[in-house]
Structure 1
């Protein structure tokens, strides 16, 4: 998806752009798509020397490039080229992700898919601003995100409606243990996580809760806003699947500890996790999407669930970080240190959230 300039973790687009006049950075099959698009979209031809290739920094799964060439009367033509990260297909089925992308586009929820090539795709460039870390704390923007997320969760997406979280955690754990050395497994306590995942599933699955189509990666770089209309768009659905909506909100709250556009983008500050008043306001906005005011009991019930699902979020992204450290060598990010922080936060907060064993 695409931004006007500012930032993204997964499809995070950053304020800092690596500029290169060389189209050679783009695979040849993608260049053929760009050539075709020039004629189809704007009735012109692509002059390779006129193209500007800008790498959007902050992405942690794929490499993302903004391609610009001159248009009429100073109006630049732009598209996005996304080159899939090395080895990241271990996290999701790419064919499922493309179907989700196309379905979202039909629902008017994101950019159009303009073309696919062997290791990536070309997307419509949307003229909106990608959020920054600070934007998540803006009360107006937070309310807009809450309402958009409720709309997203209510989408009638095709395919099975089963919760994917627990199966995915088990699959990622198996993948992580298979790639880590015995020393790494011991250091990160991976062998303990089999029982932890089972315990969480047992504790949380018996609770009556709403399941919807979840984004599962709602960090600030995957949220865009049109400055004039204030319309919010959620982008990059690679991790999307049906899950308890409390997990999606919990993950969003955890992302407030991150700023992926610092000198140390992997470092998290969990003192920035939203306080109870901020959480409550978000949940109230989420539940009042249809115009009805939620009861205090509804709000408190969802807040309690969200707190519990933060534990699942820490395991989810901790395992992601460990696997990424072994498979994704193209992105400059300290995946293992990031994973270590998520696991540490799991062990530190578990007794408070679930009580002593």
Structure 2
């Protein structure tokens, strides 16, 4: 069994540059990187754009000229994230996905970050990933990830329980700040309670039979880039993404048509071998959004069935197993996904507690932990009433 990422022979080498960026004054360090990556760029002409959507790392785009056609993204790892992110594994995942044309080019790593290609397109919002017009693209791209054989003949093993156990050991039991410490004690389940749930999850979910595949593991909307393709057969007004979403592409010309275009996933910090159903359930949890979380937006049975059928058709196609999908296959995956959505809440609840201790990013991580654990316990009875078909 293997839970490591095997990089195929022939994958492009990734240079490691001995540069350390100051996350508060990054320009000098970024220019050192660009001296190697873009030697023809004049330092005085380099412009930067800070991307503020992420809550783990700092991300800066570097470019020259008036348009962002050639952009080098510089990602500076968040404070203490090496405690819970395997950076070597992240780079291997990046290289594997790049080999299968599922990821942008990785230019280099440096002492506290990495540089990679900027993908042209639109980072999606929660309302986009909930739209059938777009989620068929997402389902298909996820299926492509899951069908990748990157284990060199070994049978892959999920590292989910190992990661959760590590997160549990790193989660703070108190904060120096009295107000935060009081919130922790009054709003977050006790250490003993979390330990019991961690054991229960492993015992109950491991036996569901979900395949272990190469997963993204963090498919929130901002990690999905949509690039629309031109299609002259469609009305010009429908070539804009926001109009495509607004109309859900249900026009008289093409009532059931998926809009032209494609999606790419970015950010592979948590990528690795995991249960297929975790990756999907985790994505369904993201239908609720991040900054203003609303779990009433978690997809219902009918919407999930549409998504899961599209996914299974693509997955079987990529695995050369045809494209016919039975209702039983959809129902099995439906049960697995909704139970593994529990593990997703638990995983990110622990993650948020660790971030509340160490992160320098302005975000209420403790409040986010409370949200995830609250939804975990709210969802648990409902999903445990679901049963695999006989």
TM-score, normalised relative to structure 1: 0.84
Q: CA deviation at 1:293?
A: 2.3
The correspondence of residues 241-252 of structure 1 with structure 2, limited to 5 A, is 241-252=272-283
Which 10-residue stretch deviates more, 173-182 or 157-166?
A: 173-182
CA distance in 1 between counterparts of 2:347 and 2:76 reads 24
CA distance in 2 between counterparts of 1:343 and 1:311 reads 9
The correspondence of residues 118-267 of structure 1 with structure 2, limited to 5 A, is 118-158=111-151, 161-177=156-172, 184=184, 187-189=187-189, 190-228=191-229, 230-258=261-289, 260=290, 265=291, 267=292
Q: CA deviation at 1:111?
A: 1.2
Q: CA deviation at 1:156?
A: 1.6
Where does residue 331 of structure 2 map in the other structure?
300
Query: In the superposition, relative to structure 1, how do residues 32 and 185 fare at CA in structure 2: closer, same or farther (>3 Å)?
Result: same
CA distance in 1 between counterparts of 2:334 and 2:374 reads 22
CA distance in 2 between counterparts of 1:316 and 1:24 reads 29
The correspondence of residues 305-320 of structure 1 with structure 2, limited to 5 A, is 305-320=336-351
CA distance in 2 between counterparts of 1:179 and 1:147 reads 43
Where does residue 65 of structure 1 map in the other structure?
60
Aligned residues: 320
CA distance in 1 between counterparts of 2:371 and 2:29 reads 39
Residue ranges of structure 1 left out of the alignment (5+ in a row): 1-22
CA distance in 1 between counterparts of 2:24 and 2:41 reads 18
CA distance in 2 between counterparts of 1:221 and 1:66 reads 16
Q: CA deviation at 1:178?
A: 5.3
Where does residue 84 of structure 1 map in the other structure?
77
Query: In the superposition, relative to structure 1, how do residues 30 and 271 fare at CA in structure 2: closer, same or farther (>3 Å)?
Result: same
Residue ranges of structure 2 left out of the alignment (5+ in a row): 1-22, 230-259
Runs of 4+ aligned residues of structure 1 deviating over 6 Å after TM superposition are none
Deviations, residues 279-329 of structure 1 (Å, cap 9, x unaligned)? 000000011111522111110111011111111111011011110010111
Secondary structure of 2:374's counterpart equals helix
Secondary structure of 1:293's counterpart equals coil
CA distance in 1 between counterparts of 2:199 and 2:276 reads 20
Q: CA deviation at 1:115?
A: 2.1
Query: In the superposition, relative to structure 1, how do residues 80 and 298 fare at CA in structure 2: closer, same or farther (>3 Å)?
Result: same
Structure label with greater radius of gyration: 2
